[in-house]
Structure 1
Amino acid sequence: MKRHSSSAIPAPKFHYTPCVQAGAHYSVSGMVGLDPATGQLVAGGTAAQTQRIFDNLLLALPDYGLSLQDMVLARIYTTDFAAFPQINAIWEATLSDVPPPARTSVGVQALPLGAAVEIEFSFYKNPSSKDQET
């Protein structure tokens, strides 16, 4: 098993690994919309936080050795399903050029740091890649 981190995104606020690789499978810990410059939750609610999550993911993927093409699953947690169209709009814009992954969406009462949305991601990278750990 290999653990990955990225200096391009905010460091974890709690004790966990941002990305864990087990063979060809990668699990990216749930992300909330933290500003990389301040480490604080971005203002603007669900849409701004969702955009920041995807922006942070795109910043971290090169450090993890991954691309959006490798995504196989996303789990979305939100405290406000009425705002889900905002999440979907950003989802569609971000993933418009790649095959969409499987997805689970869950309504929750609360999220860490008072976030309105949290998303965790799973990836699979072809084992034939030269930097793949076995």
Structure 2
Amino acid sequence: MRITMQSPAIPAPRFRYSPCVRIGQVYQVSGMVALDPVSGQLEGGGVGAETTRILANLLAALPDYGLTLDDLLIARIFTTRFEQFSAINAAWEAVFDERVTPPARTTVGVSALPLNATVEIEFSFVKSSLRKVHQK
């Protein structure tokens, strides 16, 4: 059964799509750009600030989706400023530090993103009863 989900903690979609879709234990969070949850406007300050906002929005929405970062399988990052990847990575590492196991990740350079954003990230989760199983 397919279930669509929305979180009141983040801006509502501006276009026709589902922010999060769940089928069984798999959750797909649509690509997020750096919208301020209060104003609904795109976050200023470049790729680092945009990435920080996207990750903050994700963290705010996770409780409404019934997920944690431990459920995160892969993140796909799209950016129009690949030459500034170090700023994206710095914002990423502020969330996925040594206390949090990072998911798989892909980063792709693109020519344009919605709303003139410089970063968009989509997230795939798998809800599991198994927690903190680390393979190194």
* 1:51–1:90 contact (8 Å) kept in structure 2: yes
Separation (CA, whole Å) in 1 of partners of 2:77 and 2:100: 18
> Which AA in structure 2 matches 1:95?
F
Deviation at 1:93, TM superposition (A): 1.2
* 1:34–1:41 contact (8 Å) kept in structure 2: yes
* 1:4–1:18 contact (8 Å) kept in structure 2: yes
Mark the runs of 5 or more structure 2 residues left unpaired by the alignment: 131-136
User: Which residue in 2 is equivalent to 1:25?
Assistant: 26
Output aligned runs, 1:1-134, within 5 Å: 1-96=2-97, 97-126=99-128
- Runs of 4+ more than 3 Å apart: none
* 1:24–1:127 contact (8 Å) kept in structure 2: no
> Which AA in structure 2 matches 1:27?
Q
User: Which residue in 1 is equivalent to 2:133?
Assistant: none
Normalised by the length of structure 1, the TM-score is 0.93
Separation (CA, whole Å) in 1 of partners of 2:56 and 2:70: 16
> Which AA in structure 2 matches 1:125?
K
> Which AA in structure 1 matches 2:124?
S
Deviation at 1:127, TM superposition (A): 5.7
Separation (CA, whole Å) in 2 of partners of 1:106 and 1:8: 27
Mark the runs of 5 or more structure 1 residues left unpaired by the alignment: 129-134
Separation (CA, whole Å) in 2 of partners of 1:66 and 1:99: 15
Aligned residue for 1:66, secondary structure, equals coil
> Which AA in structure 2 matches 1:98?
V
User: Which residue in 2 is equivalent to 1:131?
Assistant: none
Aligned residues: 128
Separation (CA, whole Å) in 2 of partners of 1:48 and 1:126: 31
Deviation per CA, 1:35-84: give whole Å up to 9, x if none. 00111101111111100000000000000000111100000000011110
> Which AA in structure 1 matches 2:128?
N
Deviation per CA, 1:17-42: give whole Å up to 9, x if none. 00000111000000000000111101
* 1:9–1:56 contact (8 Å) kept in structure 2: yes
Separation (CA, whole Å) in 1 of partners of 2:68 and 2:126: 10
Deviation per CA, 1:86-123: give whole Å up to 9, x if none. 01011111011221111111000000000000000000
